[in-house]
Amino acid sequence: MPHPDSRPIHADPALPMQGLTILVVEDSRYASEAFRLMAQRSGARLRRAETLADARRHLAIYRPDVMIVDMGLPDGSGAGLIREVALAGPDQPVLLGLSGDPGLRDMALAAGALGFMEKPVAGLADFQQAVLIHLPNRLAGPRLGDTPEPDRLALREDLAHAAQLLSHAPDAGQRAYLARFLGGIARSTRDTALARAAEDLPYADTARLAYLTGLVALRLGEAPRPFA
């Protein structure tokens, strides 16, 4: 459960989330890096889980103040995790659903989320407001500022993950997951061509699948490489 002193009545206006621990359940390293930077600028500590199983391991050790849960994860829907935590008893984290598909808002709220974030988050102030609106004891308003740019190496890791899955003849379930995953990357990077190709993935024929695979390979070649 959250520590009693983790939600002070008087927050530093420059760091309105100071003392909070946020668990982001998100499989995209690029999106998670954006959340990490926004949390850092807000004074919060962020921890990340890539899967439902990983999130449950986190929750067995500590209780975050806020949980931001992606609705589409490699091992299932985030709605189940939200429901599980919401029904676990009093003093649960502030639960927020997350997706690039605004149509999943109702599913997140029905599962027990208090709010919903649409990817990519528009800016630092929007991120802060989405969290702080559910923490009325924090009287300081959001800190306005530019949204930090995530590390492009995190984008490369996401693209490499997608390329690996595409290279193994993904089945229907994997295609649906990849469509969401790549769609999120495309929205975050404003990549219209990748967004359209990802949207077609669940129903793509061999030629369209080859086109998407080539597009991801091209983007991967353009992404910065780690230092040797």
| Domain edge (last residue) among 72, 99, 132 | 132
Same-domain check for residues 122 and 167: no
Q: pLDDT for 67-78, tens place per residue? A: 999 999 999 999
Same-domain check for residues 45 and 103: yes
> Could you tell me if 132 and 8 are in contact, meaning their C-beta atoms sit under 8 angstroms apart?
no
Q: pLDDT for 39-67, tens place per residue? A: 999 999 999 999 999 999 999 999 999 99
Say what the pTM is.
Answer: 0.76
Same-domain check for residues 182 and 106: no
> What's the total number of domains in the chain?
2
Q: Residue 224 carries which DSSP code?
A: P
At 177, the amino acid letter reads: Y
> Could you tell me if 88 and 67 are in contact, meaning their C-beta atoms sit under 8 angstroms apart?
no
Euclidean distance between CA atoms 81 and 140, whole angstroms: 30
Position 2 scores a pLDDT of: 43
Q: What's the average model confidence in pLDDT over 206-219?
A: 90
- 171-180 contacts at long range (C-beta below 8 A, 24 or more positions apart): 172/202, 175/201, 175/202, 175/204, 176/202, 177/72, 177/74, 180/72, 180/99, 180/100, 180/101
Neighbours of 173 (CB within 10 A): 9
Helix 124-132 × helix 29-42 angle, to 10°? 70
Residue 119 scores a pLDDT above 70: yes
Residue 32 exposed, middle or buried by CB count within 10 Å (0-12, 13-18, 19+): buried
Q: How far is CA 14 from the centre of its chain?
A: 24
At 71, the amino acid letter reads: M
Same-domain check for residues 167 and 205: yes
Q: Does residue 214 sit within a domain? A: yes
For residues 121 and 3, the model is more confident at 121
Within 13 Å and on the Cβ side, how many CA atoms surround 140? 19
Same-domain check for residues 119 and 157: no
Q: pLDDT for 125-175, tens place per residue? A: 889 989 999 987 764 455 555 556 676 788 888 999 999 999 888 899 889
* Domain extent for 24: 4-132
Instruction: Please name which of 90, 89, 137, 81 lies closest in space to residue 113, comparing C-alpha atoms.
Output: 81
Helix ranges (DSSP H) in the chain: 29-42, 52-59, 78-86, 105-111, 124-132, 152-166, 172-189, 192-200, 206-222
Question: What phi-psi label fits residue 67: left (phi over 0), alpha (psi between -120 and 50 degrees) or beta?
Answer: beta
Same-domain check for residues 184 and 106: no
